[in-house]
Amino acid sequence: MSYYVELTMNYNTIVLSKRFAKWYRVCFRRGEKDLKKITIIVAAHKAYPMPDIQMYLPVQVGSAISAALPYVRDDTGRNISEKNKTFCELTGLYWGWNHLDAEYIGL
């Protein structure tokens, strides 16, 4: 059986499908290690309530050229944060590709 993530944007709110949320809760209770292989980067430019799910990682994109937020910054280590005006959310994905130890990285 295959599972997939359904995310829809509705006025800046991330809505998780009920099917995915149920699958995640069942896997989390079982302690499945596959969930630790998945990281979904949530690109942020301003403070906002983030999903309280382990696989989501809020990252402040363009942090080299903007004020600090209470999230992981994309201007540490190898990064292209200063190019955020051109590459937008891809600066966060580039940071994750270089710094996260996950088998699957999403944005």
Assess contact for 44 and 58: CB atoms under 8 A.
yes
Residue 104's pLDDT is what?
80
Residue 6's pLDDT is what?
43
Assess contact for 59 and 43: CB atoms under 8 A.
yes
Q: Which parts of the chain have pLDDT scores under 50?
A: 1-14
pLDDT in tens, 10-40: 444 445 566 667 777 777 676 666 666 788 8
The model's pTM: 0.69
Residue 74's pLDDT is what?
93
Residue 36's pLDDT is what?
67
